[in-house]
C-alpha cells in the first residue's frame, strides 16, 4: 500500500532527523506558529512528492530547505489574511535543481572557513559548531551582541558565495 510506504518513509526520516527538525521548527516558529505542525507538514510534503530528495543529496539540508519554504509560506499567508486576499504560493519542495547546498557536506563548509576573515570564522565556529549563544559569544570575544549577529550574517553570506562559486566552477 502506498500509504504504508509513505509512513515508513516518514518514520525513517524522523528517526534520522526528527530531533533536528523539531529544533529547527522551534527556532523558526518561536511562539508565533506551531512547530509540531510545521514538522508534520515538511514530512508530508517530502514523502508524498515523487523524488522529493534527489539521490546523493544531503537529506537534512533538503528537509530544512523545505521547512524554510513552508515557514515563509505560513508567514505570507498570515500576512495576506490580514491585508488583502492575494494568494501566495511558495513551492514547498525546492525547484532549483542545482542549488549550491544540495549535496553539501560539513567538510565542504570547513574547507571554506579558511577563506573567511579571522573574526568571521571564529564567531561562526562558536555559533554553528559549538552551539554557543550570541550572549556567550559576545562575552567570550569581548564584542557587542549586535556585532556577533553581523559577523555571523557576513560569514554565512560569504560561505554561500564561496560554495556557489565552487559549484559553478566545478
Nearest distance from residue 11's CB to another protein, in Å? 6
Scan for cell 566552477, then name that residue: 169
Scan for cell 498570515, then name that residue: 78
Q: Which of 50, 118, 121, 134 binds another protein (CB under 8 A)?
A: 134
Question: Is residue 166 a contact point for another protein (CB under 8 A)?
Answer: no
The smaller minimum CB distance to another protein, of residues 142 and 149, is found at 149
End-to-end CA distance of the chain: 42
Q: Which residues contact 152 (CB under 8 A, 6 or more apart)?
A: 123, 124, 127
104, exposed or middle or buried, with CB in 10 Å at 0-12, 13-18, 19+? middle
Question: Is residue 79 a contact point for another protein (CB under 8 A)?
Answer: yes
What track of x and - describes contact with another protein for positions 29 through 48 (by CB under 8 A)? xxxx-xxx--xx--xx--xx
Question: Is residue 16 a contact point for another protein (CB under 8 A)?
Answer: yes
Q: Total number of residues binding another protein (CB under 8 A)?
A: 70
Nearest distance from residue 118's CB to another protein, in Å? 19
Question: Is residue 63 a contact point for another protein (CB under 8 A)?
Answer: yes
The helix/strand/coil state of 89 is coil
Amino acid at each position: 500500500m502506498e500509504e504504508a510506504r509513505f509512513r515508513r518513509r516518514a518514520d525513517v526520516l524522523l528517526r534520522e532527523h526528527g530531533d533536528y527538525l523539531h529544533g529547527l521548527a522551534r527556532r523558526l516558529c518561536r511562539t508565533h506558529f506551531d512547530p509540531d505542525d510545521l514538522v508534520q507538514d515538511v514530512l508530508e510534503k517530502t514523502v508524498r512528492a515523487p523524488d522529493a530528495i534527489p539521490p546523493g543529496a544531503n537529506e537534512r539540508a533538503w528537509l530544512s530547505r523545505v521547512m524554510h519554504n513552508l515557514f515563509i509560506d505560513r508567514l505570507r499567508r498570515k500576512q495576506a489574511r490580514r491585508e488583502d486576499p492575494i494568494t501566495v504560493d511558495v513551492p514547498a519542495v525546492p525547484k532549483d535543481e542545482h542549488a549550491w547546498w544540495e549535496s553539501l557536506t560539513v567538510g565542504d563548509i570547513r574547507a571554506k572557513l579558511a577563506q573567511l576573515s579571522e573574526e568571521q570564522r571564529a564567531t561562526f565556529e562558536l555559533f554553528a559548531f559549538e552551539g554557543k549563544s550570541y550572549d556567550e559569544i559576545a562575552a567570550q570575544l569581548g564584542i557587542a551582541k549586535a556585532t556577533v549577529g553581523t559577523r555571523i550574517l557576513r560569514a554565512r553570506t560569504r560561505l554561500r558565495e564561496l560554495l556557489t562559486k565552487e559549484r559553478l566552477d566545478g
